Structure 1
Amino acid sequence: MTAETAAIDCQDLTFAWKDGDEPVLEDINLQLVKGDRCLLLGANGAGKSTLLRILAGKRLTKTRNCKILGQDVFMNPPGGVVYLGTEWSSNPVVRSDIVVSHFLDSVGGYRHRERRDRLLEILDVDLDWHMHQISDGERRRVQLCMGLMTEWDVLLLDEVTVDLDVLVRADLIDFLVSESETRGATILYATHIFDGLSEFPTKVCHIQLGTTPKPMLTWGPDHPDLFTTALGWLREDRDLRRVKEAARGRVRGPKAEVGSFLSR
């Protein structure tokens, strides 16, 4: 990987919420070149969202070892990076009585009319919708249209397709593949939904309990089923997590309390 081809370069990243806390990310390594489409796989709580937010420049780390397009993601954030996460839908502004056309124009949609219109068709969005009257899935489509209508170089996606129906999701995936192949755009996509994704990634990265224990996989048609691979990793993650929690005296699930009906 050279400076000319590097898109995301994250080396030995460790992050804790505050000094003295156990790290939520430890020795994370992730390197992608321009045009890569990488799936970020791991269990709930593995650190995927935290990593994406760090890469988006939304979390300050002690060490300056995360770069996008050769620039420090927090101290000197590069242009051309789009982060789309699930927290957007809880913003009261996007649930207010505003017409979609006005909403998109307020973030520059009129300057990107050709791409905006293409995305309106792909995502099946009605410009006359009122944001407070539409469903969560329709609101998510508006978010995607808003985030993707400029020509981005690096796209960080955190579970934002979970609300989409299968047709819109399939058309969106086709659009993202086209963007990477024709413009050399790079995509890092965290998801738990693997239907229709077997031909999407060029790379697959496994985050296990806040670490990257295995070398990133270069993905291709000769690889096994993506769902089967993910399921095997998640079972491995759960077994390891149970061992670590048991060593600390922690057990998930129901607990019988002294004097309770269950303990009699």
Structure 2
Amino acid sequence: MTINNDGELLALDCDSLTFSWKEGDDPVLKDVNLSLGKGDRCLLLGANGAGKSTLLRILAGKRLTKTRSCKILGQDVFMNPPGGVVYLGTEWSTNPVVRSDIVVSHFLDSVGGYRHKDRRDKLLRILDVDLDWHMHQISDGERRRVQLCMGLMAEWDVLLLDEVTVDLDVLVRADLIDFLISESENRGATIVYATHIFDGLKKFPTQICHMQLGSTPRGMVTWPPADVPESEQDLFQLALGWLRDDRELRRAVEKQKGRVRGPKTDTRDRVTFYEKYDYSH
């Protein structure tokens, strides 16, 4: 059981997690460390392919790991998953069920919305959801709002968000962020939020975790930084600098392996390619 410096049980404790898709493959996560107390709000930053989604799915108990490296509220996330953990990812919107001809009110009731009427109605207002919408007729952004209402209407202890606000308009996203902040401050709920959109997030995180090529080289970074004047605190520029460093490191690593992204100068196979795929004759 992992305890923080105040003698309290950590809400989330990921200790030196290493994970590979198959045994013998290079790890996609290497010695990842992530520790959060109750009420912490962690912004998970990193380039595409850095391992953010893989980490969140492991924390949600959706990926089997052989190590007992990840615990939520003191319980192993896969062997003994705790209650009160909500994971919301982008893959939800591709499920054929949520694109079928079902009315939103019936859809929410089918997952227990009637048991959480007060929170459900609050989220319906925040997310600007119409209960008479038909799921197959609405936009991706509106469908995302329904997903968030469905996932957040029961009280949760730990929330794992993976790029689920990318479809939301600015106003709805801002209201949702305010709701999440209030949940952490008033109920002590813990949030890990992976996103590439930093507008309006300056007041959201209490911690930042930077993922770089599957690892967490900086550990947990407190936000806002105590040694930087408020007028100079720029979350976007901080992330941009880290991502530029990540790209240079990634290019160096790939170069050592003989891999280079972008256009190739070797076009020896161009004639063979066109002869193979030229259907004009």
| Aligned residue runs from structure 1 range 150-169, under 5 A | 150-169=154-173
Paired residue secondary structure (1:105): helix
Which amino acid in structure 2 is aligned with residue 117 of structure 1? D
Task: Indicate whether 1:253 and 2:262 are aligned.
Answer: yes
The aligned counterpart of 2:27 is: 23
Q: Which moved more, 1:150-159 or 1:213-222?
A: 213-222
Which amino acid in structure 2 is aligned with residue 30 of structure 1? L
Task: Indicate whether 1:233 and 2:237 are aligned.
Answer: no
Deviation track 1:132-167 (CA, whole Å, cap 9, x = no partner) reads 000000000000000000000000000000000000
How far 1:221 moved relative to its partner? 6.5
Q: Distance in 2 between matches of 1:193 and 1:104?
A: 28
Task: Indicate whether 1:203 and 2:212 are aligned.
Answer: no
The aligned counterpart of 1:83 is: 87
Q: Distance in 1 between matches of 2:93 and 2:269?
A: 44
| Aligned residue runs from structure 1 range 95-244, under 5 A | 95-220=99-224, 222=226, 223=228, 224-244=233-253
Paired residue secondary structure (1:50): helix
How far 1:220 moved relative to its partner? 1.7
Aligned in 2, Cα 1:179/1:260: closer, same or farther, shift over 3 Å?
same
CA contact (8 A) 2:20 2:29 kept: yes
How far 1:216 moved relative to its partner? 1.2
In the superposition, the TM-score normalised over structure 2's length comes to 0.91
Q: Distance in 2 between matches of 1:111 and 1:259?
A: 63
List runs of 5+ in structure 2 lacking aligned partners: 272-281
The aligned counterpart of 2:39 is: 35
Q: Distance in 2 between matches of 1:113 and 1:215?
A: 39
List runs of 5+ in structure 1 lacking aligned partners: none
In the superposition, the TM-score normalised over structure 1's length comes to 0.97
The aligned counterpart of 1:14 is: 18
Paired residue secondary structure (1:220): coil
CA contact (8 A) 2:45 2:239 kept: yes
Aligned in 2, Cα 1:253/1:128: closer, same or farther, shift over 3 Å?
same
Paired residue secondary structure (2:182): helix
How far 1:259 moved relative to its partner? 5.6
How far 1:5 moved relative to its partner? 3.4
Q: Distance in 1 between matches of 2:47 and 2:37?
A: 25
How far 1:180 moved relative to its partner? 0.2
Q: Which moved more, 1:219-228 or 1:36-45?
A: 219-228
Which amino acid in structure 2 is aligned with residue 67 of structure 1? K
Which amino acid in structure 1 is aligned with residue 246 of structure 2? D
- Alignment RMSD (CA, Å): 1.2
The aligned counterpart of 1:67 is: 71
Deviation track 1:171-222 (CA, whole Å, cap 9, x = no partner) reads 0000000000000000000000000001100000000000001121110265
